[in-house]
Amino acid sequence: MLKKEAHVEYPHSETIRNYHNIIVSNLDAETITAECNFTAYRTKREVIDTFVGKQMYEVVRKNEKLAIKKKKVILNLDSLRPHGKISLIL
């Protein structure tokens, strides 16, 4: 574990995220809900992996600011092939 290569993210990958079809509801309620579709691109060692899915949020007001109370990410993939593993934060 002392080698840099022992970690999954060495060298570190680059990620780009796009958010689409954002729907916000319950703006006057205590908990605001939001959902969107996303596409996340991960590049590492000249390989690009694409992840698509849906994110759902519950947001609350705290001290006149918005804070995420709950976040749920659902990937729309039949399997992790050819990816094999997910080592990025969505």
In tens, the pLDDT along 25-54 reads: 999 999 999 999 999 998 888 888 888 999
Q: Tell me: pLDDT of 13 over 90.
A: no
Identify the CATH number of the domain defined by range 4-75: 3.10.450.50
Q: Tell me: pLDDT of 56 over 70.
A: yes
What is the average pLDDT across 8-28?
88
How many CB atoms are closer than 10 A to CB 34?
A: 17
Sketch the domain layout of the chain as residue ranges: 4-75
| Dihedral pair phi/psi, residue 89, rounded to 5° | -90, 125
| pTM, 2 dp | 0.73
- Which pair of tokens denotes residue 77? 């993939």
